[in-house]
């Protein structure tokens, strides 16, 4: 049976997105191993994979460990197990692993780009650097999978690989059965609102995102202040480095009683179902998972008009606002209160659309690509 190694920079990528894929191929008798920094401490990864391998690299693109220790570790593990396929995800892990295996003719290397680090509207210098790196690494890649339309077009435009080796899949799968309204207990919905001290007349907006600069939480807070309605509340689920700054900003804007910092949560379907709308105003995304989850649960979405989010919300499936336009964002927030019927129509349309992103379809597409790679003698 085939041997597959899945490589990511950090284990949260595997835990959040890739475990169903790993479970599927293991159920077929494949050996599926995984490599990431600190993966041995992640119980879900340890229990799901056949073998796991720690590696010393960093999410910081300029960290010298990425090449100094990363390359030798990849070569060591691959030589030890004699894999048929290596599937890489996330930019750092993908670049280093492909570099390490560039002279290995026996293994087929597949790269899923969860959002190139160059993108429309990005910093010109950074875009040029990351575009050059992707062009370079394309020569060490057998198959490339993109998950949004902008990345697919860019990969073909810049000839990262021959066009017949560049594939588009609508994301990496969302379990529609898990994110279903029927699975959410009404008593749990009531508990969420009670915990936040909300009345029946209060409106709850929800953002599920790591507190990092690119998620632009400050836009949400500034827009909420412009709405100037004390009955509109904003719940922020997640952790991260800029969380203290956002708490301070909420105080400065005088909206501290309307903003709820939820921290890490494991009841995401309940939170989404309890919200009147889900918001995500990031500067950069591949294909945002929280929006897909909201679409499954028939909850209206407001998102920034960027790569990935456009794919999901275009054609009337949600409200798109220009990046950083807090006036437009405030208007969209107000529309949740003033015109819920039109948002309900959008949510229903989005729920129909999201069936194209179902996990079972993505698994089948991956199976087809893997089969091509295994039968490829070039």
Q: How far is CA 289 from CA 139, 147, 294, in A?
A: 30, 12, 9
pLDDT for residue 60 is more than 80: no
The pTM for the full model equals 0.93
pLDDT for residue 59 is more than 80: no
Q: How far apart are CA 64 and CA 66, in angstroms?
A: 5
* Over residues 212-234, mean pLDDT: 98
- What's the sign of the alpha-carbon dihedral 93, 287, 177, 361? negative
Phi then psi for 317, rounded to 5 degrees? Answer: -95, 0
Please write the tens of the pLDDT for every residue from 88-111: 998 889 999 999 999 998 999 999
pLDDT band at 11 (very low <50, low <70, confident <90, very high): very high
The domain locations on the chain are: 3-173+358-374, 181-357
Q: How far is CA 195 from CA 235, 258, 261, 262, 266, in A?
A: 11, 13, 12, 10, 15
pLDDT for residue 127 is more than 90: yes
pLDDT band at 134 (very low <50, low <70, confident <90, very high): very high
pLDDT for residue 61 is more than 80: no
Count of Cβ atoms closer than 10 Å to residue 70 Cβ: 26
Superfamily of domain 181-357: Glycogen Phosphorylase B; (3.40.50.2000)
Q: How far apart are CA 127 and CA 122, in angstroms?
A: 6
Q: How far apart are CA 109 and CA 98, in angstroms?
A: 7
pLDDT band at 62 (very low <50, low <70, confident <90, very high): low
**CATH architecture of the region 3-173+358-374:** 3-Layer(aba) Sandwich (3.40)
Report pLDDT for 66. Answer: 75
* Over residues 41-61, mean pLDDT: 90
pLDDT band at 77 (very low <50, low <70, confident <90, very high): very high
Q: How far apart are CA 96 and CA 9, in angstroms?
A: 10
Least confident range from 65-79, 114-128, 170-184, 337-351: namely 65-79
* Over residues 186-215, mean pLDDT: 96
Q: How far apart are CA 194 and CA 189, in angstroms?
A: 9
Q: How far apart are CA 177 and CA 183, in angstroms?
A: 8
Kind plus residue range of the DSSP H or E element containing 126: helix 124-138
* Over residues 229-255, mean pLDDT: 98
Q: How far apart are CA 315 and CA 354, in angstroms?
A: 13
Q: How far apart are CA 287 and CA 169, in angstroms?
A: 11
Q: How far apart are CA 96 and CA 137, in angstroms?
A: 9
Q: How far is CA 205 from CA 186, 210, 249, 272, in A?
A: 18, 16, 18, 9
Count of Cβ atoms closer than 10 Å to residue 47 Cβ: 9
Output the 3-class SS for 177-206: CCCCHHHCCHHHHHHHHHHCCCCCCCEEEE
Report pLDDT for 262. Answer: 97
List the beta bridge partners of residue 304.
321
Q: How far apart are CA 268 and CA 287, in angstroms?
A: 18
Report pLDDT for 57. Answer: 84
Q: How far apart are CA 79 and CA 95, in angstroms?
A: 19
Asked if 3-173+358-374 and 181-357 have one fold, the answer is: yes
List the beta bridge partners of residue 33.
5
The fraction of the chain above a pLDDT of 70, given in percent, is 98
- E strand spans, the chain: 3-7, 31-36, 52-54, 85-89, 108-113, 143-146, 166-168, 203-208, 232-237, 259-263, 277-280, 301-304, 319-321
Q: How far apart are CA 240 and CA 261, in angstroms?
A: 11
pLDDT for residue 143 is more than 90: yes
């Amino acid at each position: 049976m085939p041997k597959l190694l899945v490589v990511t920079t950090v284990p949260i990528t595997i835990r959040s997105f890739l475990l169903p894929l790993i479970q599927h191929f293991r159920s077929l008798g494949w050996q599926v191993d995984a490599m990431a920094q600190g993966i041995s401490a992640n119980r879900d990864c340890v229990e799901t994979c056949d073998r796991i391998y720690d590696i010393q690299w960093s999410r910081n693109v300029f960290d010298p460990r990425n090449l100094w220790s990363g390359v030798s570790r990849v070569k060591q593990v691959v030589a030890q197990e004699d894999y048929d396929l290596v599937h890489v995800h996330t930019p750092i892990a993908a670049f280093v692993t492909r570099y390490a295996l560039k002279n290995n003719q026996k293994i087929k290397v597949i790269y899923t780009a969860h959002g190139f680090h160059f993108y429309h509207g990005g910093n010109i210098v950074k875009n040029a650097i990351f575009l050059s790196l992707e062009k370079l690494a394309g020569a060490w890649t057998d198959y490339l999978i993109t998950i949004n339309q902008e990345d697919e077009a860019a990969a073909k435009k810049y000839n990262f690989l021959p066009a017949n080796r560049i594939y588009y899949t609508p994301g990496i799968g969302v379990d529609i059965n898990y994110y279903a309204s029927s699975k959410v207990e009404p008593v749990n919905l009531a508990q969420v609102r009670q915990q936040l001290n909300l009345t029946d007349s209060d409106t709850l907006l929800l953002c599920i995102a790591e507190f990092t600069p690119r998620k632009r939480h400050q836009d949400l807070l500034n827009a909420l202040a412009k709405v100037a309605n004390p009955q509109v509340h904003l719940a922020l689920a997640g952790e991260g480095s800029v969380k203290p700054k956002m708490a301070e900003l909420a105080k400065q804007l005088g909206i501290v009683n309307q903003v709820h910092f939820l921290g890490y949560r494991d009841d995401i379907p309940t939170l989404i179902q309890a919200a009147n709308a889900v918001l995500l105003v990031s500067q950069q995304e591949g294909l945002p998972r929280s929006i897909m989850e909201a679409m499954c649960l028939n909850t209206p979405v407001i998102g920034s008009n960027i790569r990935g989010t456009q794919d999901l919300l275009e054609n009337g499936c949600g409200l798109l606002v220009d990046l950083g336009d807090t006036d437009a964002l405030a208007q969209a927030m107000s529309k949740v209160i003033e015109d819920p019927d039109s948002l309900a129509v959008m949510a229903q349309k989005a729920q129909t659309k999201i069936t194209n992103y179902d996990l079972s379809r993505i698994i089948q597409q991956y199976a087809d690509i893997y089969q091509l790679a295994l039968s490829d003698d070039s």
